[in-house]
Amino acid sequence: MSEGHLWLLPESAVDGFAARHGGTALLTEAERELLARRRTPGARRRYLGARVLSRYALSARCGRPLGEWRFGHGPDGRPEPLGPADGLRFNLSHTDGLIACLVTEQAACGVDVEATPAGPDAVRYLPRFLAESERALLTGPGAGPARTLAALWVLKEAYLKALGTGLRRGLAEFAFSTPHRTPIQLHDPDTPPGAPGWQFELHYPAPGFVLATAVQDGTGGRLQQTVLT
């Protein structure tokens, strides 16, 4: 597998970045309609930033003009390149303040970014959705329950996005151990014998954010990472 590349776009940089690279002119009519349906300026900014960023990241890998990319949707609703894509795969995630795009060649991939530490309501209600071994990590020594919960949550989201199931699969059906140490280990009883393995990375790209990547058969070391402005 060729090495993957993680692209990060701060929300504060979206307006300038989008303007330099084509803005809404890059979008299809359907994408512009979806953009217009976003109810807040922040939601519209993140939607536009994610669509421009995905085109930029894919074009940086293969040299295709940004305006030539068109996308369909997989079973979980995530965008997928239509037509010849030179074997490229990608995945998007965004939260208030930060947008992320992960690009690989051939390999299934997923990315998720969230705020950290998890808020009090999340610490109160979300652990019930974790595997028993993960709930034990929240009360053990280390980073503390709010930080550990946020790390486990993005790892689970990134993995499910890479699988293409989204949250249709129960979060307690598989478990991560040692989320704050490498290599991050996955225990998934549904993985068939001999299936390609997974490489997981946990990043703290800026204060207040935690990000996880999942790449199937990831054997090329740590991902390249670029922060755009």
Q: What is the pLDDT of residues 70-121, one digit of tens each?
A: 998 877 777 789 887 888 999 999 999 999 999 999 899 999 999 999 999 9
Distance CA 202, CA 30 (A): 34
Strands 185-187 and 109-115: unpaired
For 156-168, write each residue's pLDDT tens digit.
999 999 998 876 8
Angle at 193 between CA 191 and CA 197, to 5 degrees: 60
Identify the domain containing residue 35 by its residue range.
5-227
Helices (H), 130-179: 132-139, 145-163
The structural domain count of the chain equals 1
pLDDT of residue 1: 44
CATH code for the domain of 87: 3.90.470.20
- Where on the phi/psi map is residue 179: left (φ > 0), alpha (ψ -120 to 50), or beta? alpha
For 21-70, write each residue's pLDDT tens digit.
999 999 999 999 999 999 999 999 999 999 999 999 999 999 999 999 99
Which pair of structure tokens corresponds to residue 135?
């709930």
pLDDT of residue 169: 87
Q: 4: exposed, middle or buried (C-beta count within 10 Å: 0-12, 13-18, 19+)?
A: buried
SS3 state at 191? coil
pTM above 0.75, yes or no: yes
Q: Please name the residues in contact with 182: beta carbons below 8 A apart, sequence gap of 6 or more.
A: 201
For 174-190, write each residue's pLDDT tens digit.
999 888 888 899 999 99
Question: If you ran DSSP here, which 8-state letter would residue 189 be given?
Answer: T
Q: Quick one: which of 8, 100, 97 has its CA closest to 45?
A: 97
